[in-house]
Structure 1
């Protein structure tokens, strides 16, 4: 099994007005979106071509009952296309870093030509099936791989020096041939027509989800410890009932039945019974349930075959400075500018915890390819953080070359410490979000001197 924890510590300046009294757990989880995806299996382009050739040979043998083998064909084609995209992406990164030779690019062009030639045979098998799902799969594989080829070859062309005329001519020739093929097949392609470009971008997004759903893991969310919560509520109701019943017995013994005093005592006991029940519910929530229990317990599935791969729990809490581990505090103060840092002027601290358990054997058994690991992706919307901010820009004046009026950004710093823990390793690093009322202006990672600008 694989078990690991991810903790996110949000250090929020007091002037943002985000605290436990006005930013609830439900609001946080509305702003948070996370998903888990298996890392795309890596393979050479020659191996991917052989894989497509094997699928074609298989479908030729099973022409009479091709529909019954949809599961196998679906898996093979989707994994192959995902690996093809990863191969082109990694090759483009090498080009950007100048880690290439002319022969590498020439070989790439030749291998893509062979790969695409095999892929173009797939739509012919639509005549052998009545399954619309299989027909779509075969057609989409051809169209998406063509789109990926054009997109990444343009990217490679942009990264290359313009002086490499021979290589550039080969790339442009390949792109042009692919675009002509798309036109003949009635596929979308980039043009001066905005509506067609809109359709192209939409298709790319849909294709990406369609093929990558073989690697995405489906998450089914439910509240954690619901039964325990209702058990505590029952105890609170029982304590309140004990009080009300005791008052009723004592007042009956003292005043007798059907008296005004007995009636008044019953009304008072009922009034206090409700308040006592709510009081104990609140005590159990804050002192016991809220501290010990997670907000959600989620199941992780394979979305295509619904195999249960694991679980993860998550919760968010505002914590005090005393509750921050020493390692996290050291990371937070790493390269802090000065005593003007918001840490010294006042911050509210919010901690998001995520604990994951995965069954490796089930994951490996469900995939024919070697799975190296997974990407745990978290997206967070900072709009709640920006609501009470001042205008995004202010005016300044200078006397350089005469008096001038300047515009400067009004920014807020939100520091985020990300902590990763497993049995084998531990790591943490700091991210500084530079925010304005319009959103994220830039992101700084002080440890590595990285600055990401929102352009």
Structure 2
């Protein structure tokens, strides 16, 4: 089970958590998963069914469903038959005169996916550099030089071969849409290479001693400058200067969306059980009407048609009729909530022609006494410094997801030679509703230092705990806890623990940037 569902919790920005779930596709059968996420919030934050109903929770989340980027090593991008670059080169060599619309569409998809493939391959290749060494030795320097040299050589070879595709595309009479796709992908890859090399430049001091550091920083700077000069010479607008800071950010964001959209899947969200809900509500209305009619018939048969007792009986019958109807609707809603989910998201291909599966979602508050034992154990495991957990002073919100993927989804997504093995479900959760009742983030406290009393500035934080339970088709479950540390200004950090309360490494970018290295670029 541990290897089935790929999961990651990370900080997207100051106010948003990003929960990423990967659902591997089975080749011959449908796949099904269930993910229950329990959110524990201290009572002091004022989060409960009255102040923060499930409808608001759905407004605070944002979903993206996409195909998982094909995983290729850096050399495989250049040589493997699974590489989109190799596939495009082979297709152009095999094609005769002219391109059909279907062939142009296929080439557009393979070109656009290259940016995501190259990004994943480069980050994996350079990821060891993101783990700095405590001391710099000849071995660490040799390792850094080998990793970065291989990366730069592979980048040079890739860009040379990719940019050489422009001539055969033009010779085959590629349409404006295909040529524009090539140009935008070329620009996006150049920006990506520049960004990754700049990150390596900032991390070099952790691996190299000064005599080796300065030549390497010069080499990296020259390679980055070559990318900038290339985009400027070709006429691409993604060159960062003092005057283009705003347009540059907008441009690179649009390039990323354009190239990665080939991996996006279309979704349709609909309310689950709407027809059944209307049927049960109609039944409740019918029962209440039967009661009111029987009261009216009985009163008229007993007291006559136009008498005061009949009038009183009709009024009382109407009063009970209204209450019976509302009680029936409440009971029906409770029955539906036990059996049905709130929403059903249909996962389709981007063109809407093929249904791949669906995701069902449900949000509800759970009483702490009714939590599964596995969840209670995970919440209480490990060292606890939170009195809210020990005293049970927490609101518990359950967000449940049931995922079903069709058995033909794998074959359909991989039909063009792309190595698609999983679907990623990315959810961003806005925590700002949890910040409303928080106190000021810093408070001054008195402390004794020697014989004098001094004021100390202390940081006031609050803890949200997310306990996730993953259930596979075989019924096996795995559980983990994520601690989200907040203050009034937003998310400060996250910490992750396994079911036994042991610290687990939280997700970090594969090429982190050391904060002291940031400088203002004029």
TM over 0.5: yes
Report what 1:444 is aligned to: 495
- 1:258-277 CA-partner distances (Å, limit 9, x unpaired): 45544443344233322221
Q: 2:111 aligns with which of 77, 81, 98?
A: 77
Q: Secondary structure at the match of 1:175?
A: helix
- Equivalent of residue 410 in structure 1, options 441, 460, 463: 460
Cα 1:117–1:239 shift into 2, 3 Å: same
Structure 2 Cα separation of the partners of residues 113 and 19 of structure 1: 56
Match of 2:253 in 1: 205
Match of 1:150 among 194, 199, 204: 194
Q: Tell me, which stretches of 5 or more residues in structure 2 are unaligned?
A: 1-29, 133-139, 509-514, 516-522
For residue 304 of structure 1, report the CA deviation from its aligned partner.
4.1
- Equivalent of residue 317 in structure 1, options 330, 340, 364: 364
CA separation in 2, counterparts of 1:353 and 1:379? Answer: 15
1:356 CA drift (Å): 0.4
Corresponding residue SS for 2:298: helix
1:307 equivalent in alignment to 2:347: no
Change (3 A) 1:292 1:340: same
Does 1:256 pair with 2:304? yes
Cα RMSD for the two superposed structures: 2.8
In 2, distance between residues paired with 1:82 and 1:283? 50
Corresponding residue to 2:88 among 24, 38, 55: 55
Aligned to 1:86: 120
Q: Are the counterparts in 1 of residues 77 and 118 from structure 2 also a CA contact under 8 Å? A: yes
Instruction: Pick from 318, 332, 335 the counterpart of residue 270 of structure 1.
Output: 318
Aligned to 1:18, what secondary structure does the other structure show? coil
Task: Please say if residues 266 and 352 of structure 2, whose CA atoms lie closer than 8 Å, have aligned partners that are also in contact.
Answer: no
Q: Compared with structure 1, are the counterparts of its residues 102 and 443 closer, same or farther at alpha carbon in structure 2 (3 Å cutoff)? A: closer
Partner of 2:6: none
1:102 matches 2:145? yes
2:472 corresponds, among 390, 411, 422, to 422
C-alpha separation in 1, matches of 2:96 and 2:322 = 71
Residues 39 and 366 of structure 1, relative CA distance in 2, 3 Å threshold:
closer
Which SS does the other structure have where 2:421 is aligned? Answer: coil
Aligned-residue offset at 1:5: 1.1
Q: Distance in 2 between matches of 1:452 and 1:4?
A: 22
Tell me: higher relative CO, structure 1 or 2? Use CA pairs within 8 A at least 6 residues apart. Answer: 2
Instruction: Provide structure 1 residue ranges, at least 5 long, that are not aligned to the other structure.
Output: none
Distance 1:82 1:452, change over 3 A: closer
After TM superposition, give the deviation of residue 225 of structure 1 in Å: 0.8
Task: Return the alpha-carbon distance in structure 2 between the equivalents of residues 271 and 94 of structure 1.
Answer: 73
> Are the equivalent residues in 1 in contact too, given 2:267–2:345 (CA < 8 A)?
yes
How far off its partner does 1:189 sit? 4.3
CA contact (8 A) 1:45 1:87 kept: yes
Which residue is 2:482 aligned to?
Answer: 431
| TM-superposed deviation, 1:204 | 1.9
Choose from 359, 366, 370 the match for 2:406: 359
Report deviation, 1:345.
5.0
Of 214, 224, 229, which residue of structure 2 is paired with 1:180?
229
Q: Of residues 35, 58, 70 in structure 2, which corresponds to 1:29?
A: 58
Structure (1/2) with the larger helix percentage? 1
